[in-house]
Amino acid sequence: MQQQTCWNQTGVLGDQSCPTLKTVVHCHNCSIYRQAGRGLLERPIPEDYATEWTTVLTQARTQVNHQKTLSMNIFRLGREWLALPTDVVKQVLSPRPIHSIPHRSNQLLRGIVNVQGQLLLCVSLYKLLGIVPNQLSTLRSTNEVRHNSYLLVIKKGQNVWAFEVDKLHGLYRCNSDLLSNAPSLGRNTLGRFTQAIVTWQTENVSYLDEEHLFEALQQGAL
C-alpha cells in the first residue's frame, strides 16, 4: 500500500495545497522529502520490495494516463500570463543583482547571477517573447535588484537559464483536454512560442513550448 505521506496528499502528487510549494516549487526540494529519502535508503530492503513497487508504479502510470493531467508553473511578465512545465522550473528565488558580462551583455543576455554559489546566465524573456515591460519592470541599471519580483531558474538537459518575472502564481494542474490551440497571431513573437492557451481563473495563459524556448535561448544568448 502506498504510504500516506505529505507529498502524495498535499504535495505535487496530491492536491498541491501545501503552502511550502510556493517557495520550493517541487517536493524534491523540500527538507521533509529529503529526510524521508535518507530514511528509506537506510532501512533494510523487504523481501516483497520489487513486487510492491512494480504494482505501485503500474497503478500510478495508469492513473496519469487516465487523467491526462498537466502540471505547470504560472507567472506573469508585463501584462502577459505565461506557463512552463513544472519539471522545467527548478528553482524560484528572491531577486538578486544581475552583473553584466563585458562585451557580451545585451537586451537578451542581461548578465550573470549568483545562485547558491553557482553563476548562471540571466536572460530577458521580455526581449525573447516580444513582451513590453511594465514601467516598474524597467531597471535603471543591470545590477539593481527589482523588488516584488522573482527569479526563476529553468533547466532542460545541460541548459540552465535564469530570468526575472513580475509575479508568480506557482503550481497549477489541469486536464490536457481543457487546453486550447494557440491562435494564429501572424508575426506576434509570443504566439510563435505558445503551444496552447490555458484558461486559468479569468486569464488566458500562454503555455510555452519549452523546446522552442530553450533552442531560441541557446541560439540568441550564447
Same-domain status, 79 and 153: yes
Identify which has the larger pLDDT, 162 or 2: 162
Please determine, for residue 3, whether its predicted confidence score (pLDDT) is greater than 50: no
Give residue 139's region: left, alpha or beta (phi > 0; psi -120 to 50). beta
* Domain stop point among 22, 44, 67: 67
Residue given cell 526575472 in the structure block: 164
pLDDT of 23 reads 78
Nearest to 124 by CA among 25, 221, 222: 221
pLDDT of 68 reads 75
- Please tell me the number of Cα atoms within 13 Å of 184 on its side-chain side: 1
Same-domain status, 56 and 79: no
Among 53-57, 75-79, 91-95, 118-122, name the one with the lowest average pLDDT. Answer: 53-57
Same-domain status, 54 and 123: no
Same-domain status, 159 and 78: yes
Same-domain status, 48 and 88: no
- Residue 183 CA to residue 205 CA, distance in Å, equals 12
- What's the whole-number mean pLDDT along residues 89-105? 88
pLDDT of 176 reads 79
- Residue 215 CA to residue 209 CA, distance in Å, equals 10
Q: Which domain holds residue 28?
A: 6-67
Please determine, for residue 209, whether its predicted confidence score (pLDDT) is greater than 90: yes
Q: How many domains, the chain?
A: 2
Contact 20, 30 (CB under 8 A): yes
Among 136-150, 157-171, 184-198, name the one with the lowest average pLDDT. Answer: 136-150
Task: Tell me the CATH number at 122.
Answer: 2.40.50.180
Identify which has the larger pLDDT, 93 or 36: 93
Contacts of 131 (CB under 8 A, 6+ apart): 77, 78, 79, 80, 125, 190
Q: What would the pLDDT profile of 23-63 be if each residue is shown by its tens digit? A: 777 787 888 877 777 666 666 666 666 666 666 666 655 55
Same-domain status, 82 and 186: yes
Contact 81, 203 (CB under 8 A): yes
Please determine, for residue 67, whether its predicted confidence score (pLDDT) is greater than 80: no
pTM, 2 dp:
0.66
pLDDT of 2 reads 40
Judge whether 121 lies within some domain.
yes
DSSP category for residue 154:
E
- Residue 201 CA to residue 38 CA, distance in Å, equals 39
Q: How is residue 88 written as a grid cell? A: 522545467
Judge whether 43 lies within some domain.
yes
Please determine, for residue 114, whether its predicted confidence score (pLDDT) is greater than 90: yes
Distance of CA 107 to the CA centre of its chain: 22
- Residue 120 CA to residue 111 CA, distance in Å, equals 8
Identify which has the larger pLDDT, 114 or 175: 114
Q: Is 131 helix (H, G, I), strand (E, B) or coil?
A: coil
